[in-house]
Structure 1
Amino acid sequence: MRHIHKFGGSSLADADCYLKVAALVRRHCQKGDVVVVSASGDTTDHLLALTLDSLPALKAQQQALFKGIEGVDKVAQLSAALSADINAIEQALTDGITNSDWLVSFGEIWSARLLAALLDARFLDARDFLVIADGQVQPQSRERLQAIASDELTIVTGFIGADAQGETRTLGRNGSDYSATLVASFLEAASVTIWTDVSGIYTADPRKLEGAYTQNHLAGKVATELARLGSPVLHPRTLGPLDLTRQQLIIRCTFAPDEGGTRISTERANKNLASLTWRGDVYRCHAAEASSDIRAQAYAEEEGGAILYLPFAFGEQAEKLTLLALVGQGLDWQSPAGQALANVAQQGGLVHQAKGPEGLSLIAFVRELPAKSLLARLHDQLFAVGVVVLGVGNIGGCWLDGFAPRLKDRLRLYGLANSKKQLFSLNGIKPANWRNEFAKGGEPRFEGDLLEAFKKAPFAHLLLLDLTASKAVADQYPKFLNAGVHLVSANKQAGSAPLGEYDRLHVTLRQSGRRWFYNTTVGAGLPVQAAIRDLLGCGDDLEGVGGVFSGTLCWLFQNFDGTKPFSQLVKEAHAKGFTEPDPRDDLNGLDAARKLLILAREAGWRLELDNIHIDNLVPEHLRNISRDEFFARLDELDQPLLAALNQAKAKGKLLRYVGNLRQEEDGFRATVGLETLDATHPFANLTAGDNIFAIQSRYYRENPLIIRGPGAGPHVTAAGVQSDVIQLLSWLA
């Protein structure tokens, strides 16, 4: 299938831009594709204001674009063609030019000619096929293009065509975008990609409102309505030629091509809200006698059509206003989004409010644009995800330092808390300065404060990152979900809770419509649960999981060779952030057992923690003392573990802490504990700190599916948290 690409003037502003565009074309285009181009930079403006005196400067500007061309012959050909054009323009200016369309057409001709030379591609002047009469594209244009289309990569002039007499005519504002979609329609191309200076269609104009972010997908009707209301990226005519049931329009950024973009098709988007937009130079006009052509351009009307809201002044009593609108699907003024828009519009002197066709927009006409701070707060209410981080220690601190800034356009960090204090700020907490803000502004934390903070938060979505190991926090998950909060957890407590609590949590999840992501509860950033879910989703049956589930215990026993006391290794692991705050939560085997239990439940096996046999490495007399006292008496672990190590060495084996879960004829066998392994065993030779998971299933019975990698440490866990956050954002998009 053919694909059409269009590059605008900002994408072709100078010689370096042409080289960048040429590289993008080589990367994204194939034989038979068509590239439509606008004039370079501000060339059209120069042509419109051209005089004999300014002509030499225009020629020099165009010649400067040739510097990226390789080959003397090509440069000579381009120079000769440019000189011929300049001579023709000079003669026309001398004679008193009568066709300004002919004059401005040179911008697109020069641009297409240059790009074709850079790419050794075919140059096609749109006047050879595009017929325009009275501003309208004529039907014969389709057959004319189909007759001259080829399998070569073709560079086509945008914006221009010709009338039946061969005189140059133009398509007007945003004409090159329109040219591209016309070509796509004529050639029945699969897609049109418009390359511009922004990464798609945003939730608001990013140049005017910090925090606006790109929409990955828009339904065709929504995009058309957004264009009707004055989107700076789309013109209403652009979508007209496309059959969006089988063609799609994509908006991408020339200068950030890997950032994705916005895809426009007939598919219904997952969410109702698309964009907050505004524009000035809108007029309230008394227009009872307005023609049908004038009425067709109205944004809204009142008093039975006696008053129109138009993008231009009409009549003697036109009042200049500003349009403020919310675009999406199924919108209503009585909805929370509609009421929020109305409240802000009142601050700008609301004159009239209207509802677009099919509920695609809510439009407020105001005397002046409300303050930027009000618009920013409204945007947050409509689109932003308000985030509270609970647990700002190793993992939380790493996420805040390294990962939160990467999602700043979509997330509003407004809460930080640990077990003792908290900080909430509806104006936002800057990730780059979170430590200072938390230290200076943190207040004592009391039970229930977190829930109250969520109830007061003015954001479209709410997210709690639970980066603690707290059972008390996990017990509140149902309350958080019922308050409309999504959850991302590194906390294993909820996933390993008694089955009654676990089942009630999942019932609340279904009823609340919220999401809970918990992939870091097993294997830090390793995709273990995701692999199991994929296997089950493909019709496989899980038969067992074995491996080293604790990165902490892996690190300890990979390093435990008798040259250092075991207690010293525990202290080192704690200092590196490899252990839980209380290392006994690793050493007692509960951490590994909880992971085993979470995986069992992921597979649909209804196990309790009591069903797992756990080898506790902490002597009974050290289990119930304070953490500080435990650290003081840590060396009491050394003798029994050294004895176990020496016994393994005597057999020529290695000592490792291993988990196993197997489905057997009489039920399940689940254990975590010390085992002696041959030196060649896959579980014995790991990088210190690694996890390894050997997943056996009906499909992977003889040769298990192996997942291996770092299973402990703040950075890999924080990366896993970020992956879960990104999944949530994708689900919300």
Structure 2
Amino acid sequence: MANMLQKQPIFIAVIGVGGVGKAFLSQYDQLRQRLDPQSSNIDLALILARTSKKQVLSERYGALDASKVPQMLEESNKPYLPFDSIVEFLEATPGKVVLVDNTSDLDLAKSYPRILEKGISIVTPNKKGFSDDIQLWDAIFSSALKGGSHVYHESTVGAGLPVISTLKELVQTGDEVTKIEGVFSGTMSFLFNSFMPVGGGGGKFSAEVKKAKDLGFTEPDPRDDLNGLDVARKLTILARLAGLEIESPTSFPVQSLIPKALESCSSGDEFMEKLPDHDDEMEELKDAAAKEGKVVRFVGSIDTPSGEVKVGLEKFDASHPIAALKGSDNIINFYTKRYGSNPLIIQGAGAGGEVTAMGVTGDLIKVIRLLR
């Protein structure tokens, strides 16, 4: 009988309960409610939620109420366990475990190999581990094989957009990816769509950076967006999936939009205060592109036959899909042998808590299916 099915527990541990983490907990709660108790043999149990300072864990491995976790964390006064103790706690669970890392912590990402070797699966939007040196990349996937665990990271590129899964499918079905090109940063998309919209206009570069910061599109310190490293990390991940052995996100040309004279600024506030003094440099770029009937956009590209990867400013005709982006959308063009001269295009919101969490939740569903 369906209601006599033996329930298989899958235990969920969440690290990082900020914007993405809270959105994920809400989506996880909905996912758990959608599992039909009469026909599903899966019993999901959230047993840990942890921030950088507090944690809530279920010592007897009973399910925590995901909807109450943020409040429980706020009120928690239990001792904050060292991370090694957390790993031991997860290893001792009476069933399969999935660790959901919603942080951007490189140190945590460096611990993925030993976690995966213990049979604990991982889903994460944390791009640091997958874009750090290639030895860590290799160790992550070899450890998953060794431990019989799974690791998914769709949201490391394009938030909830199906960028990584599409590239994996292209490669695994034998297509040959010749070029990947696009706008990979919601921040930079918004910034350049405002700075140089199709049809003319747009404000001074410093004013547009300030507007993007005030609207919450940039990091608290906009230099963390303008240095191009975020896009370089995403390109590193895609290039590796396409078969290129990219050593690190600093092993190829990455154009920083931080003026040389401002690289020594001691704070983001000082940088923002002095940026208007350097508007002329960007105005010259804008004027030069306009004279050619083009617009400037901050893009990343991967040429697989030559192995060339680069990040920086490029000029595009107004009719080009990259030029026509709106708001903070991302666009990724896959040029392949099968698709010929017309690329496979993925476009949409590439940032935001809800869509990023959607990619994480989608990865969790994939892992649950594999663990059944």
TM-score if structure 1 supplies the norm length? 0.45
Specify the alignment match of 2:314 in structure 1.
Answer: 675
Once the two structures are TM-superposed, the CA of residue 398 in structure 1 deviates from its matched residue by 1.2
Distance in structure 2 (CA, Å) of the matches to 1:436 and 1:418: 13
Specify the alignment match of 1:337 in structure 2.
Answer: none
In percent, how many aligned pairs have the same letter? 33
Distance in structure 2 (CA, Å) of the matches to 1:618 and 1:418: 32
Q: Are 1:529 and 1:599, in contact at CA under 8 Å, matched by a contact in 2?
A: yes
Is 1:400 the counterpart of 2:25? The answer is yes
Instruction: Identify which of 135, 142, 145 aligns with 1:510.
Output: 145
1:708-729 CA deviation, whole Å, 9 max, x = no partner? Answer: 1111111111111111111111
Is 1:412 the counterpart of 2:48? The answer is no
Instruction: Identify which of 100, 105, 127 aligns with 1:465.
Output: 100
Distance in structure 2 (CA, Å) of the matches to 1:677 and 1:434: 47
SS state of the match for residue 617, structure 1? coil
Is 1:554 the counterpart of 2:193? The answer is no
Q: Are 2:129 and 2:137, in contact at CA under 8 Å, matched by a contact in 1?
A: yes
Is 1:591 the counterpart of 2:235? The answer is no
Distance in structure 1 (CA, Å) of the matches to 2:113 and 2:261: 36
Specify the alignment match of 2:39 in structure 1.
Answer: none
Once the two structures are TM-superposed, the CA of residue 620 in structure 1 deviates from its matched residue by 5.6
1:66-114 CA deviation, whole Å, 9 max, x = no partner? Answer: xxxxxxxxxxxxxxxxxxxxxxxxxxxxxxxxxxxxxxxxxxxxxxxxx
Using a 3 Å threshold, how does the CA distance of structure 1 residues 510 and 387 change in structure 2: closer, same or farther?
Answer: same
Q: Are 1:387 and 1:413, in contact at CA under 8 Å, matched by a contact in 2?
A: yes
Specify the alignment match of 2:160 in structure 1.
Answer: 525
Aligned length: 350
Which residue type is aligned with residue 55 of structure 2?
A: Q
Specify the alignment match of 1:643 in structure 2.
Answer: 281
Using a 3 Å threshold, how does the CA distance of structure 1 residues 579 and 428 change in structure 2: closer, same or farther?
Answer: farther
Distance in structure 1 (CA, Å) of the matches to 2:280 and 2:92: 55
What does 1:474-623 correspond to in 2, within 5 Å?
474-560=109-195, 561-562=202-203, 565-574=207-216, 578-580=217-219, 583-608=222-247, 609-619=249-259
Instruction: Identify which of 91, 102, 112 aligns with 1:455.
Output: 91
Q: Are 2:125 and 2:360, in contact at CA under 8 Å, matched by a contact in 1?
A: yes
Aligned CA-pair RMSD: 2.4
Is 1:717 the counterpart of 2:356? The answer is yes
Which gives a bigger RCO, structure 1 or 2 (Cα 8 Å, sep 6+)?
2
Which residue type is aligned with residue 56 of structure 2?
A: L
Once the two structures are TM-superposed, the CA of residue 663 in structure 1 deviates from its matched residue by 3.0
SS state of the match for residue 129, structure 2? coil
Instruction: Identify which of 53, 65, 68 aligns with 1:430.
Output: 65
Distance in structure 1 (CA, Å) of the matches to 2:273 and 2:151: 40
Q: Are 1:567 and 1:635, in contact at CA under 8 Å, matched by a contact in 2?
A: no
Once the two structures are TM-superposed, the CA of residue 521 in structure 1 deviates from its matched residue by 0.7
Using a 3 Å threshold, how does the CA distance of structure 1 residues 416 and 706 change in structure 2: closer, same or farther?
Answer: same
Using a 3 Å threshold, how does the CA distance of structure 1 residues 646 and 534 change in structure 2: closer, same or farther?
Answer: same
Is 1:698 the counterpart of 2:322? The answer is no
Structure 1's consecutive aligned runs of 4 or more residues displaced over 6 angstroms after TM superposition are none
Using a 3 Å threshold, how does the CA distance of structure 1 residues 600 and 523 change in structure 2: closer, same or farther?
Answer: same
Distance in structure 2 (CA, Å) of the matches to 1:397 and 1:713: 12
What 5-or-longer segments of structure 1 have no aligned partner?
Answer: 1-199, 206-230, 232-274, 277-378
What does 1:339-418 correspond to in 2, within 5 Å?
383-408=8-33, 410-418=43-51
What does 1:205-224 correspond to in 2, within 5 Å?
205=3
Specify the alignment match of 1:5 in structure 2.
Answer: none
Once the two structures are TM-superposed, the CA of residue 654 in structure 1 deviates from its matched residue by 2.3
Specify the alignment match of 1:663 in structure 2.
Answer: 304
Q: Are 1:429 and 1:437, in contact at CA under 8 Å, matched by a contact in 2?
A: no
Once the two structures are TM-superposed, the CA of residue 449 in structure 1 deviates from its matched residue by 3.5
Distance in structure 2 (CA, Å) of the matches to 1:688 and 1:439: 34
What does 1:176-255 correspond to in 2, within 5 Å?
201=2, 205=3, 231=4
Q: Are 1:519 and 1:529, in contact at CA under 8 Å, matched by a contact in 2?
A: yes
Distance in structure 2 (CA, Å) of the matches to 1:706 and 1:427: 44
